Amino acid sequence: MSTELPDLGVVFWPVGTGDSSTVVVTDEVLMQVDLNDRAKADDDDIPEVPVVDLLVEALPTGSDGRPFLAAFVLTHADKDHCSGFADLLDKATIGELWATPRMWREYLDDGDDADLCEDAKAFHEEVKRRVEAVKKAVADGEEIALGDRVLVVGYDTDEHKHAYHDLPEEYLLKPGISVTKINGVDYAGRFEAFIHAPFKDDCAAARNETSLSLQVTLTEGGGQDGKVLLFGDLAYETIMKIFKYSEDHDREQYLEWNLLLAPHHCSKRVMYVREDGKDVLKTDILEAFERHAREGSVVVASSHPIPAADVDGANPPHKKAADRYKDYSDRFICTMEWPSVEDPSPVVLGIDANGAQIVEDEVVEHSAKSADVAKAAGRKRGRLSEVAAAATAAGRYAGGVVSVSGTAAMTGSERVQAAIKADRGSEAAPTTAVGFGRDR
């Protein structure tokens, strides 16, 4: 990889334990998959980046003169996947939203008492508004207005009870299909998203098991491509169902991966099942990951630093899961440890004529500085460089050392405990599971 970032790739932001992935298709087309912008990230002494502000800074300008995000994809409505959505919607125009039916079911079952965070509720209200806007535009024979497009992705046996049921077929996407359009524009040959889940049988399951699951393929002009698997917060049983179904239907190409975003933030529930009070390793899923991995495969855990040892009842990340990924892949990276716990930077997967590769930290740092110089000189830079530069040049570290309540001299595991205490107010596991811990 040269000292410049390519024009095509994916950025995984260091946002603690939560997902925030930016897919850069072209200079003008960016897709955000999940978001975890925490209020505490605005604190200069906290290592997590304020992803909304930095993303908005790096977005292109749309036809309405505002920062423009082509699409926002929500895998599921847990807080660590949608925090900051309302702020992002206020600061940028989002061309298209991808939503699963799960929230409609929650509102149907629980009404206004649905167990959703404020940003999840804001997302659902915006999706409902767009559903009505699309239906009206179609009925009137008009084009869908900027910022009104929506796709509902997945099955629900209660679909006929919800307003989205009346959307035209092109706005209702089911598992087992490929999508090459973003915001109504076809990018075939450059972008493809194959939808693996949610399955119809899981529509009433716990929220994590209704996660939208995708294989994203990005292809550069010469034909080299990179493939990313995104499973949201799925666990062992559902992921194995994805592998079995695709293998049984001769669709192995949609299981290939250069980069796997570790499901559920490096949770052990991906490869361990609780039996008779013990965690039992299921090697079949690890063998499935390995079977479909390309040469140079990379697993990325979007999480706090991996602990030195696992504690019963603790939320992800789990050391035993990280250890298994290291056994079955070529490389393992934790976002809050890349390139160091003291100074985390975005993990960037770049695709160019050499194929798909992780852009090493010194290249990202060089590109960030070059992007700042180019911006000052009024020169245009590739959008992947702009996104990486925004996160890299955030400048939130005192002396380049993470200082979560004065933790500069702590070990990695001690920093994890300090971060947990800062989040929860204590080091104890929560009595009620919230967000990514809901289905542990």
- Mean predicted confidence (pLDDT) in 412-440: 42
Pick 158 or 413 by higher pLDDT: 158
Pick 46 or 317 by higher pLDDT: 317
3-state secondary structure of 145: coil
Task: Compute the C-alpha angle 435/193/189, nearest 5°.
Answer: 150
The pairing of strands 225-230 and 278-281 is unpaired
Q: Confidence band (pLDDT; 50, 70, 90) for 369?
A: confident
DSSP-derived letter for residue 7 is S
| 346/364 Cα distance (integer angstroms) | 8
Worst-scoring range by mean pLDDT, 92-96, 131-135, 155-159, 424-428? 424-428
What's the 3-state SS for 158-188? Answer: CHHHCHHHHCCHHHEECCCCEECEECCEECC
Q: Confidence band (pLDDT; 50, 70, 90) for 31?
A: very high
Asked whether the beta carbons of 51 and 45 are under 8 A apart, the reply is no
Domains of the chain: 9-437 (3.60.15.10)
Residue 218, H or E segment: strand 213-219
DSSP-derived letter for residue 123 is H
- Mean predicted confidence (pLDDT) in 31-52: 76
Place of tokens 């975890």: 36
| 108/156 Cα distance (integer angstroms) | 12
Question: Which of 294, 232, 292 lies closest to 261, judged by CA?
Answer: 232
Pick 422 or 381 by higher pLDDT: 381
355: phi > 0 → left, psi -120 to 50 → alpha, else beta; which? left
- Mean predicted confidence (pLDDT) in 88-115: 84
Q: Is the pLDDT of residue 47 over 80?
A: no
What's the Rg (C-alpha) of the chain?
Answer: 21
Worst-scoring range by mean pLDDT, 48-57, 66-75, 165-174, 426-435? 426-435
| 203/107 Cα distance (integer angstroms) | 14
CA-to-CA separations, 410 to 17, 49, 405, in angstroms, rounded: 19, 21, 11
| 80/370 Cα distance (integer angstroms) | 32
Q: Is the pLDDT of residue 313 over 60?
A: yes
Count of Cβ atoms closer than 10 Å to residue 288 Cβ = 20
